[in-house]
């Protein structure tokens, strides 16, 4: 391992984000890194004994990254007494298994609640006050308005980052931090603690208004609606400026963001790992308080951005099916996409391909990745493992063509079974292969989602990685003729070198009509096109 003076690290010696042309990437040990991840269930990483059974699982799923909680209650069981054993053992073990770690700091908030705060915090409600509901009832949510809570948590998070730096700066096993988890107010949209009420009566802070005014043309359309109610006012109390159903939420978002930013900033002072905050997505039509409100949701993301400059990006957790809808909202204004949690269902393999191809995401990670250790991999797990393997193989070309409109992704199912996209001179029509009707399951009611990444590597040369997708091409420049397949090879990358396994033709391309793959087979193909 390189010997690194941990006292004087330059930004380049710490995992960091970097912009390549249009897209961000995560750089680890000086090289672009793509997180082929999985997030652990909430209680697995509480002892190393409980972790034992799952390490081999990560290997068989072809993960290169695990998302693991660090629990404030276990890190600092008594105030000022830190127990680093678990964190340290996890890092060492991950390193041995050739895995990177994204630490999820379960600090003041985890799924809206403050369940992971240490007992000494929970029991001293005088010093660490709770949020209050409308009629003054106590919530199991620490109020974000307490300086004392902030100070105590900053101290814990600082210790954590300092320790990670000491034991890991030379290795870069830990590559990213997530302070808090799915912050939100439930069931009361606003904290009614007296400290909160006091702030609510005050003027909207000037830094927020200044940010909104300066970025007005770029703000989220749903947020603009909230601000528009009172005519885009740029001074006054929260109710005067916003005066809408979402006023409470905007107010809370600002103070949650400010608090979380101070946690993140303090951690970065110790060890400047990049940091993101995740969001539990809201159901359509639900009112603030009916969903975890005030987290970094698209309609209030601008407020978060204004108040948390030390958070590098914001990320959606998926337990609902509208994948494209939410991702489109998250990648606005230069926010890179990372999917830290996706319900581990049979859509994850296809969605990983789509996220990495279409959004050039920093990574993807199903939630509760270790489910049923000891059993052979089930269908969706095997699919994910195969997809991660092919993405790993094509990673050098993904890096090479990143941010240049040369990479695309498709996600198809029974409802949306066709999609068009353009690469270079070619317009592609991608179809779910069940549309063609020849596969055994094509007649079944359930269609497993299909997904693919397509990369343009030459004027007429492309790579395909995926499953269940067929492609037809049209030349946009030369519309007089038609496009034929000159050559298609099925193959794989070995030590970065392309190896042909089969030359595909005949039935395997429908006599030259389609690039095709099967729903049950994840493949990589290289193909060249010509006009006739």
* Contact (Cβ atoms closer than 8 angstroms) between residue 156 and residue 75: yes
Provide, rounded to whole angstroms, the least separation between the CB of residue 288 and ligand N0T: 16
Provide, rounded to whole angstroms, the least separation between the CB of residue 133 and ligand N0T: 21
Our CB check for ligand N0T shows the closer of 23 and 180 to be: 180
* Contact (Cβ atoms closer than 8 angstroms) between residue 32 and residue 399: yes
Task: Give the count of alpha carbons within 13 A of 78, CB side only.
Answer: 1
Provide, rounded to whole angstroms, the least separation between the CB of residue 380 and ligand N0T: 16
Provide, rounded to whole angstroms, the least separation between the CB of residue 115 and ligand N0T: 10
Our CB check for ligand N0T shows the closer of 186 and 522 to be: 186
Our CB check for ligand N0T shows the closer of 42 and 264 to be: 42
Provide, rounded to whole angstroms, the least separation between the CB of residue 292 and ligand N0T: 8
DSSP H helices, 43-191, are 48-52, 55-60, 72-75, 85-96, 119-122, 147-168
Terminal CA-CA length for the chain: 55
Our CB check for ligand N0T shows the closer of 367 and 447 to be: 367
Question: How many angstroms separate the CA atoms of 312 and 336, rounded?
Answer: 9
CB-closest chain residue to ligand N0T: 319
Provide, rounded to whole angstroms, the least separation between the CB of residue 104 and ligand N0T: 8
Provide, rounded to whole angstroms, the least separation between the CB of residue 350 and ligand N0T: 19
Which among 61, 69, 71, 47 is positioned nearest to 97, based on CA atoms?
A: 61
Cα-Cα-Cα-Cα dihedral of 353, 355, 359, 365, to 10°? -130
Percentages of the chain per state (helix, strand, coil), in multiples of 5: 35, 30, 35
Our CB check for ligand N0T shows the closer of 181 and 525 to be: 181
Determine the length of the chain.
Answer: 532
Secondary structure of residue 236 in the 3-state scheme:
coil
Question: How many angstroms separate the CA atoms of 158 and 327, rounded?
Answer: 32
Provide, rounded to whole angstroms, the least separation between the CB of residue 54 and ligand N0T: 16
Q: How far is CA 269 from the centre of its chain?
A: 24
Token pair 């063609």 is found at: 436
Our CB check for ligand N0T shows the closer of 54 and 209 to be: 54
Quote the tokens at residue 238: 């929260």
Our CB check for ligand N0T shows the closer of 319 and 501 to be: 319
DSSP state of 21: T
* Contact (Cβ atoms closer than 8 angstroms) between residue 156 and residue 72: yes
Q: How far is CA 201 from the centre of its chain?
A: 36
Secondary structure of residue 410 in the 3-state scheme:
strand
Our CB check for ligand N0T shows the closer of 363 and 491 to be: 363
Our CB check for ligand N0T shows the closer of 172 and 178 to be: 178
Q: Which residues bind ligand N0T (CB under 6 A)?
A: 42, 111, 181-182, 280, 317, 319, 341, 367
Provide, rounded to whole angstroms, the least separation between the CB of residue 479 and ligand N0T: 47
Between the CA of residue 455 and those of 46, 244, 360, 391, 498, what are the distances in Å? 41, 46, 11, 12, 14
* Contact (Cβ atoms closer than 8 angstroms) between residue 235 and residue 203: yes
Provide, rounded to whole angstroms, the least separation between the CB of residue 341 and ligand N0T: 6
Our CB check for ligand N0T shows the closer of 174 and 280 to be: 280
Secondary structure of residue 46 in the 3-state scheme:
helix
């Amino acid at each position: 391992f390189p010997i690194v003076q941990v006292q004087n690290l330059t930004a380049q010696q710490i995992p960091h984000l970097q912009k390549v042309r249009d897209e961000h990437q995560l750089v680890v040990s000086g090289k672009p890194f793509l997180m082929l991840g999985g997030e652990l269930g909430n209680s697995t990483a509480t002892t190393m004994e409980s972790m034992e059974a799952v390490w081999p699982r990560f290997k068989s799923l072809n993960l290169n990254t695990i998302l693991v909680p660090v629990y404030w209650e276990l890190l600092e069981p008594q105030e000022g007494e830190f127990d680093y054993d678990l964190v340290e053992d996890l890092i060492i073990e991950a390193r041995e298994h050739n895995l990177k770690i994204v630490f999820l700091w379960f600090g003041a908030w985890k799924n809206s609640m403050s369940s992971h705060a240490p007992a000494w915090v929970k029991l001293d409600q005088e010093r660490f006050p709770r949020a209050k509901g409308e009629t003054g009832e106590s919530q199991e949510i620490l109020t974000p308005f307490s300086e004392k809570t902030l100070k105590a948590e900053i101290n814990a998070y600082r210790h954590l980052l300092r320790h990670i730096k000491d034991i890991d700066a030379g290795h870069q096993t830990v590559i990213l931090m997530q302070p808090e988890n799915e912050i939100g107010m439930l069931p009361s949209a606003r904290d009614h603690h007296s400290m909160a009420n006091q702030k609510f009566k005050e003027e909207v802070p000037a830094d927020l208004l200044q940010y909104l005014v300066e970025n007005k043309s770029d703000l989220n359309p749903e947020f603009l609606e909230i601000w528009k109610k009172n005519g885009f006012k740029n001074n006054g109390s929260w109710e005067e400026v916003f005066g809408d159903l979402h006023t409470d939420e905007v107010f809370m978002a600002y103070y949650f963001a400010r608090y979380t930013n101070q946690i993140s900033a303090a951690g970065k002072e110790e060890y400047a790992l990049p940091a993101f905050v995740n969001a539990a997505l809201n159901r359509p039509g639900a009112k603030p308080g009916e969903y975890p409100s005030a987290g970094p949701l698209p309609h209030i993301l601008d407020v978060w951005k204004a108040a948390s400059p030390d958070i590098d990006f914001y990320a959606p957790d998926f337990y609902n099916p509208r994948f494209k809808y939410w991702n489109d909202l998250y990648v606005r204004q230069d926010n890179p996409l990372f999917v830290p949690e996706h319900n581990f269902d049979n859509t994850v393999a296809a969605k990983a391909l789509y996220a990495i191809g279409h959004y050039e995401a920093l990574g993807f990670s199903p939630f509760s990745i270790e489910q049923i250790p000891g059993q052979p991999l089930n269908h969706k797990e095997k699919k994910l493992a195969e997809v991660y393997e092919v993405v790993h193989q094509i990673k050098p070309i993904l890096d090479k063509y990143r941010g240049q409109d040369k990479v695309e992704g498709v996600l198809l199912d029974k409802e949306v079974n066709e999609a068009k996209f353009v690469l270079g001179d070619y317009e592609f029509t991608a179809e779910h292969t069940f549309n063609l009707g020849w596969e055994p399951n094509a007649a079944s009611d359930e269609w497993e989602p299909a997904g693919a990444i397509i990369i343009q590597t030459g004027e007429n040369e492309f790579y395909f990685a995926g499953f269940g997708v067929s492609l037809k091409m049209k030349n946009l420049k030369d519309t007089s003729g038609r496009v034929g397949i000159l050559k298609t090879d099925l193959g794989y990358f070995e030590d970065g070198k392309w190896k042909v396994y089969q030359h595909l033709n005949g039935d395997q391309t429908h006599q030259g009509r389609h690039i095709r793959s099967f729903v049950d087979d994840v493949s990589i193909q290289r193909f060249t096109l010509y006009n006739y």
